[in-house]
A and B are shown apart, each in its own frame.
Chain A
């Protein structure tokens, strides 16, 4: 702020201005300090993941220990443990498929709630959000029993269905606000020109609401990838997802810190990469589109 406005004002640099500048610099430094404090645990995990097990478990910590890829090699199965690939693929599959289903169900719903609002649409919106307030544990047991009855436990499709229901309410909310951005006049103009619904959706609605829909998908993907309670209770060997796989690393024989750190990094990597790449979209999505 001060850097921009100083050259414009003709008044000589007063004590007050100098003090304001110093204060600005100090606050900038403070922000840097807090940022480093927050990222430090992640960096520490990264560093530890490149240490040998012996160097990882020392006190005081060894900052100068030589780096190695052993933790990662161990994680990817050369250490005799279970291969992480099935669980990583399960996570990828459940997250992608549930995100697609969420889009399929939420887009028409959001369309009905924003572009051609049904009557009492706020009530419907509240109903959607209220299902999110029904804690998942409250329905977990019947789902478990039902899945057991029809032999559907330890099946990735069960997770896909549940993740879809978990993300659907938030997705409807987000997309409602993104679709509300599309001016109805443009749609009506296209209708006058004889465009049919699919054309309108693809040519008019999608380009305007597209970024918001992308943000919604990203958030649904992240929440599905991170989910653990369902995965822990409803899967076993076949359908195990990456977060559930991660918890099996803490064995009774002891902990392999470097390996756990390497595994945590690998499993978090898709979310970290996607999140860093789409920071602005993430904000807009998380605030349910309230931020324009």
Chain B
């Protein structure tokens, strides 16, 4: 609130720009503090908003997780300490959903990054209709996720009239029940189909920002295709690969749409977001759901610590550019 008023004197003081850093070192100078607040002020609305809307609810989740609280029996709400956590970690269904989340996220991210890289390499070459092929490849990523899940479940996987079994029927093959025979793989396949284009787009952009002179020079020096890929292209693509992996992980760990729509969490496909949704929305076990939520956060923090260290390489490069 006080920022607009304190910011005024800063304006009068601007001209000797070179003197500013020296002056900034002097502690307690009121004008510099004002200036610092003036630079900080634009950040505050976003920061405060985010803290209120995302951090406060999480703190509330932490508190709720310590209570035995089922909304069907509101009178029996009582402090339970770490009891909920014990249940979460010992309950087989919840433990399974942790494993499912890890499997689902890891397999979808890894496969779509590898496929995306191969596709990006294909599309980096010039050929007739390249723009059209790129547009076709992007389509899966632009489909609304729920629509995509419905498409896979009903129009492709359906054992009676789905496209897959229709084609197999033409070829005289077997008629598997995709979603009951291999449920997790079926869900993963649809997610890989959706996320490969995303990885392809990022990696293609990375490929096209390669310094061409270096590549030419390497070729003149007699480097083969593989050597150029291994020693020039791959190192250049590193930060793009990291970025794709990070963003992909953030979104796929939280995937709800595919699991909710395709299997309703049945057949060992319930991941943590779906399980938590079930625990509080249908079972009304508020304390338990919150504890499971906290477990997700702890897991994510462990992954994020690694991921953030990786992303900081993005910064290092940016800073060294400047």
Contact = CB atoms under 8 A, between A and B. Distances in A.
Interface of A: 1, 3-4, 24-25, 27-28, 30-32, 34-36, 38-39, 41-42, 44-45, 48, 56-61, 104-106, 108-109, 111-113, 116-119, 122, 124-146, 161-162, 164-165, 168-169, 172, 177, 180, 188, 191, 222, 225-226, 228-229, 232-233, 242-243, 246-247, 249-250, 255, 257, 260-261, 263-265, 267-268, 271-272, 275-276, 279, 282-284, 286-288, 290-292
Given A108-B42, A226-B145, 14 more contacts: A57-B160, A61-B167, A109-B43, A112-B39, A112-B43, A130-B308, A138-B58, A141-B290, A168-B49, A169-B50, A228-B257, A247-B146, A264-B147, A287-B240
A135 B289 CA distance: 13
Given A108-B43, A132-B250, A41 B155 contact: yes
Given A113-B43, A118-B39, A287-B243, A129 B311 contact: yes
A35 B169 CA distance: 24
Nearest to A272: B142
A113 B40 CA distance: 9
Contacts of A25: 127
A217 B41 CA distance: 23
Given A60-B170, A128-B50, A264 B243 contact: no
15 contacts: A31-B125, A35-B132, A108-B42, A112-B42, A135-B254, A135-B300, A138-B61, A139-B57, A141-B61, A141-B64, A141-B289, A144-B280, A161-B53, A279-B134, A283-B204
A258 B300 CA distance: 40
A56 B290 CA distance: 43
A229 B261 CA distance: 11
Contact of B160 (A27, A59, A109, A172): A59
Contacts of A162: 53
B201 A282 contact: yes
Which of A139, A177, A292 has the most chain B CB atoms inside 10 A of its CB? Answer: A139
B301 interface: yes
Given A39-B137, A126-B308, A232-B260, A138 B297 contact: yes
Contacts of B272: 135, 137
Contacts of A136: 254, 273
A268 B155 contact: no
B219 to A, nearest CB: 12
Given A39-B136, A134-B58, A105 B46 contact: yes
B160 A138 contact: no
A229 to B, nearest CB: 4
B267 interface: no
B130 A284 contact: no
Interface stretch (B76-84, B87-95, B179-187, B191-199): B191-199
B128 A28 contact: yes
B296 A138 contact: yes
Given A34-B119, A229-B277, A116 B39 contact: yes
B318 to A, nearest CB: 8
Contacts of A41: 140, 151-152, 155-156, 163, 193
A52 to B, nearest CB: 13
A28 B161 contact: no
A116 B7 CA distance: 14
Contact of A57 (B161, B201, B289): B161
Nearest to B14: A191
Interface in B33-58: 36, 39-43, 45-47, 49-50, 53-58
Which of A25, A45, A59 has the most chain B CB atoms inside 10 A of its CB? Answer: A59
Nearest to B204: A283
Contacts of B253: 135
B235 to A, nearest CB: 15
Nearest to A1: B126
Nearest to B293: A138
B304 interface: yes
Contact of B43 (A39, A124, A130, A229): A124
Given A35-B133, A134-B300, A42 B139 contact: yes
A249 B272 CA distance: 25
B9 to A, nearest CB: 16
Contacts of B296: 135, 137-138
Contact of A109 (B46, B294, B318): B46
A30 B129 CA distance: 12
A133 B304 contact: yes
Contacts of A104: 45
A287 B308 CA distance: 15
Closest 5 CB pairs of A and B: A28-B127, A139-B57, A108-B42, A264-B147, A142-B60
Contact of A139 (B58, B193, B308, B318): B58
A145 B202 CA distance: 39
B25 to A, nearest CB: 12
A268 B161 contact: no
Given A32-B133, A112-B42, A113-B43, A268 B127 contact: no
A188 B18 CA distance: 13
Nearest to A107: B42
A17 B162 CA distance: 46
A162 B49 CA distance: 10
Contacts of A279: 134-135, 138
B114 interface: no
A271 B127 contact: no
Contacts of A108: 42-43, 45-46
Contacts of B66: none
B247 interface: yes
